[in-house]
Structure 1
Amino acid sequence: MKNVVLNFGDPKELEAKRIAEIKSLSYLERLERLMALIEVSYTLKTAKIIKAKKR
């Protein structure tokens, strides 16, 4: 895995870099990223429900 580098700069430049990065990915890599986002979203959603039920 690559080292994480914080990006500071103009939002338009950062967005262009992000779009270029995503376009360079294969279909499978894009799908893997989407599934990871869905998994994190679901985990956060269910964590809030569990936390609320414990009170």
Structure 2
Amino acid sequence: MEKNKNILCEVNLKDTEQERINEVKSLSYLERLERLMILIEVSYTLKKVNRIPLRKAFSSFS
């Protein structure tokens, strides 16, 4: 039974990946650029957040 679940999951992932590829191909150049800029901005924000010592941030809740 587990093998069947893995196969179904793999097929669904491939379908989802293909749908995303088709979606991106349908976007205009400007829309692709906007999505790229959003990813860069989120990546930069997450990088900055990781520099904040979490213990200090959460110690105020204790």
TM-score scaled by structure 2? Answer: 0.66
| Coordinate RMSD, CA, aligned | 1.9
Give aligned pairs, total.
Answer: 46
Match of 1:10 in 2: 12
Match of 1:52 in 2: 53
**Gaps spanning 5+ residues in structure 1: where?**
1-8
Q: Which has the larger radius of gyration?
A: 2
Change beyond 3 A, Cα 1:13–1:52: same
**Gaps spanning 5+ residues in structure 2: where?**
1-10, 57-62
TM-score scaled by structure 1? Answer: 0.74
Q: Percent identity?
A: 59
